[in-house]
């Protein structure tokens, strides 16, 4: 009983994962939670690489954009070494490049830019009119009402404890092979407290930005990332941080996929607060390939 009481929550585990170990000047070591995944979740690598870069930036300068490439799958059984290169330190902007290394090879590369806070023109697109999260099924209700007859891969996904709770506005995609419009709206929120610290808030937001995106590019084809005949993987990921948020409430992640071709699918995303403030924009291209017949 004592062991259960001491077991960290999924959010506590994520925060510990983002708290990188410094091993040399501008070199950090990150570890992965041992949850049975065959490869490291892409959002974890984005969040850790961003945290490594942030730890080389002086205070009062915050990330405004990042651009990353996934090159090899991450091995969750061994640490990831993050090497930060200080590309530029200017009067208003700082630029960093981060390479993630495992087994002597680069698995991921990220470039990011930081800026002092300053006033300027201000506008944003409007948040879509969708049901609030309280009007949607929670994860426990989804498990009770739908999972008994869901495919094994879907059941495994929904039963795993995660640091980010998701409430899709529509569940059709998970339980149907209908071809749908390539867009979705998903409410997301942290399942535990996020520190009142902009470095952690940005890293957690980067972590969750990799959730559900790739799946949206499959909506128009009547399939999903749970289809065992598909090979799916993130190829690149870009993110723009518009306005800070403490991540204490639900966020609406609205997504659309303007194109799929050449075994790749592109998805765009916008993250809004409940009150409609646009805090970040995302774009990602992923591999969506039919596996060769065995």
Q: Which residues participate in catalysis according to the annotation?
A: 210, 234, 284
Kindly provide the b/e burial profile for residues 177-206, where b requires at least 16 CB atoms within 10 angstroms of the residue's own CB: eeebebbbbbbbbbeeebeeebbbbbbbbb
What is the strand order of the sheet 105-116 is part of? 21-24, 27-30, 80-89, 93-102, 105-116, 61-70, 230-241, 278-290, 264-273, 251-261, 183-190, 164-168
Whole-angstrom CA distances from 94 to 55, 64, 206 are: 12, 10, 19
Q: How far apart are CA 149 and CA 119, in angstroms?
A: 53
Residues linked to residue 83 through DSSP beta bridges, in sequence order: 27, 99
CB 243 within 8 Å of CB 278: yes
């Amino acid at each position: 009983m004592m062991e259960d009481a001491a077991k960290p929550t999924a959010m506590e585990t994520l925060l510990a994962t983002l708290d990188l170990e410094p091993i040399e000047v501008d070199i950090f070591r990150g570890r992965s939670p041992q949850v049975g995944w065959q490869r490291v979740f892409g959002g974890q690598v984005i969040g850790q690489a961003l945290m490594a870069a942030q730890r080389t930036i002086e205070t009062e300068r915050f990330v405004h954009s990042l651009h990353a490439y996934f090159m090899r799958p991450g091995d969750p059984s061994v640490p990831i070494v993050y090497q930060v290169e200080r590309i530029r330190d200017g009067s208003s902007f700082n630029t960093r490049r981060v390479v993630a290394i495992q087994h002597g090879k680069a698995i991921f590369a990220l470039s990011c830019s930081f800026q002092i806070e300053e006033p300027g023109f201000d506008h944003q697109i409007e948040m879509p009119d969708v049901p609030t999260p309280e009007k949607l099924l929670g994860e426990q209700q989804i498990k009770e009402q739908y999972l008994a007859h869901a495919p094994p891969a879907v059941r495994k996904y929904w039963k795993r404890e995660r640091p980010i709770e998701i409430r899709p506005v529509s569940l059709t995609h998970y339980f149907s092979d209908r071809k749908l419009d390539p867009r979705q709206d998903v409410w997301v929120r942290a399942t535990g407290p996020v520190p009142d610290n902009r470095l952690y808030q940005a890293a957690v937001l980067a972590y969750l930005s990799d959730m559900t995106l790739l799946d949206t590019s499959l909506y128009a084809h009547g399939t999903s990332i749970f289809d065992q005949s598909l090979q799916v993987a993130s190829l690149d990921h870009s993110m723009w941080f518009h306005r800070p948020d403490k991540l204490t409430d639900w966020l609406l992640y609205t997504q659309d996929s303007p194109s799929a071709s050449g075994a790749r699918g592109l998805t765009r995303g916008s993250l809004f607060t409940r009150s409609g403030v646009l805090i970040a924009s995302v774009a990602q291209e992923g591999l969506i390939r039919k596996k060769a017949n065995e």
